[in-house]
Structure 1
Amino acid sequence: MQYRPFGKTGLRVSEVSLGTEYLMDQPRDVVVSVVRAAIEAGVNYMDVFGAGPEFRDNMGKALEGVRERVMLGAHLGSVFVKGQYGKTRDPVLARQFFEDWLRRYRTDYADVLHLHNCDDQVDYDRLMADDGLLGLALRLQRDGYARHLAFSGHTPSTSRQAVETGAISALTYPVNLTGHAAPGRRELFDLCAERGVAIIAMKPYAGGRLLSEARTLDLEHWVTGSGVNSKLDRRMRVTPVQCLSYALAQTAVATTVPGCRERAHLDEALAYEAATVKQRDFGWVLADYAEFVPGQCTYCNHCLPCPSGIDIGNVIRLLDEYEARPSPEIVSRYRSLPVLASECVQCYSCERRCPFSVSTVERLERAVAVFESSRHA
């Protein structure tokens, strides 16, 4: 195992570490097996955001006698309510779940305590207030319950602000091929390097999508680290080694935390350490991920229902076809629609529903101008 500087902390971290999200629903024997094998292989950092009591107890058992050999990344604000994962900004509830984390992990401190999962400005302002979770985290650090503070997020805007506060030593952020050209990512990573903030690369496999056989990938913003959902077409799948190689090649990345559900998945990740230069080479697949085009309609009609009854996906499909290759036949197809785009009342409910950040109202206005103008009368 190779180790890298963990930002400005003075610590060194294994370049391949362990994400535990996929262990949360696994039986204890699997959890213990994966965790112990990882430690024996030299892994010395684990991200452990899960708040479920059974998972925490399983991890506590897995770390029995070896806790001091690993750095644990806990998450302030991750909770488990009525049998489900949740996120809170209530300092009282957050502290209760952190204290529960300490008890179940059989430890008296977290090596890295994250301000958990923040992607929008309103949430950020609440999280970082003096009476919010940042204030609580600073008090926990002062009292010795947290050695270093971190921030976890999936959008450049909030993550950049967190880095600029100077309060955090690490940033857990999606780093994978699908976000290669995401706007703002390079500037964020450059800032981390400048400030000595270690990037913990989560989702190196893009939530498993990169390892699938699919040629078209539907990508949520929390996978790409872009701030918006998108769709991506590619020519070929990639290997776990290539995914980790890509993540570890990015500016300021100290470690990567692939999710491992079983020993076989852990072995696939650890194979990076013995991989050849050729096996690590991701350059030949990078062209598939060189463009990032949010706002492109996929005609999925997740934006419906429209209060005016407009078939929005079909309207935009016809508009795209016409703009690519104008023809009277496309105009005729548009005119035969039961409801035309001119019936739009600009309620913007479609834009709020759109998973791909399409400016649907603007496209409908364009359709009116193109298809309903006097030149087509």
Structure 2
Amino acid sequence: MLRKLTLFALLILLLVGALLAFIWQQQHLALQQPLKLAKPLLMEVPRGTSPDSMLRQLEQNGLIKSAFWARVAWRLNYSGRSLQSGEYQLTAAIKLSEVLDLWQRGKIFQYAFTLIEGWNIRQLRAALAGAPALQQTLADVPDSQLMQHLGLPSGHPEGRFFPDTYRYPRGTSDAELLKRAAKQLDNVLAEEWAKRADNLPYSEPYQALIMASLIEKETGVAHEREEISGVFVRRLARGMRLQTDPTVIYGMGERYNGKLTRAHLREPTPYNTYQIDGLPPTPIALASRAAIHAALHPKEGNSLFFVAKGDGSHRFSDTLDAHNRAVREFQLSRRADYRSTPAPKQQTP
């Protein structure tokens, strides 16, 4: 009798073992199957959706053979874990096990939006309005109320956001993204201000940001930034006007058509540094960390003038006579592809 019971128990154990092995094998086969995708797919998981229903959807869409064993695998391995809503990117070679891992970790697809150094607020807002999957809440908010609407320190929004690439999931608002960019600028400006050189003509970081925006618009040549900063700082120290063309262009606003004349240089606007003393009242563009650093670390020297050579770089001069010779050399016989400012930068995907 005891032997029969022992044999029966052994048989039960063997059957249970065989069943467990079968379940493990079926799970393994189900999870190792690649999704039938010809190209990457963004799959949306609505709020409150269960893993079971999402797996059934994969089956109904013909992306997997059967959802049964995948559902068993989720219940055995991720029991009690919720499925975070959002979009998940499924690649052409992805396996079902990797899909479950994405869901379990809540690795939601992130879109990218890049703020380009040198952009003004009009360019920034136009690009922001076209950003994919971004909830638009600022379309009717004028520039004059933008900072207040964002709950940020009041003032003109020009130059108050840090140029960088920001990633966000679908449903993020344009206001949320701008708040991040404003906070990032505050952090960068504070870091650079803490390491600034001595004897600078700025009483507060905001003035350094204004200077950085001028440097940003004057050159995209990396090694020139500190040199241009040095020219501007020396001019301020001597009571000379900055006389930088980008401020004239900015003051003209949408009236600027690509051509700058002597009449424009004489036109009184709050930003025209041919007509005003010192810095303009606000930044004129988004300034990169490199431009901010240059504003706070001007290169020592004697140059007080510079003129665009037509390739994005400049000729620096210590005296007005030398500057006038450079103007005749580079301005009066311009090359066909002449440009006085940096080449425009494009947003990266």
Quick check: which has more Rg, 1 or 2?
A: 2
Q: TM-score range by the shorter chain?
A: under 0.3
TM-score by length of 1: 0.25
Higher strand share: 1
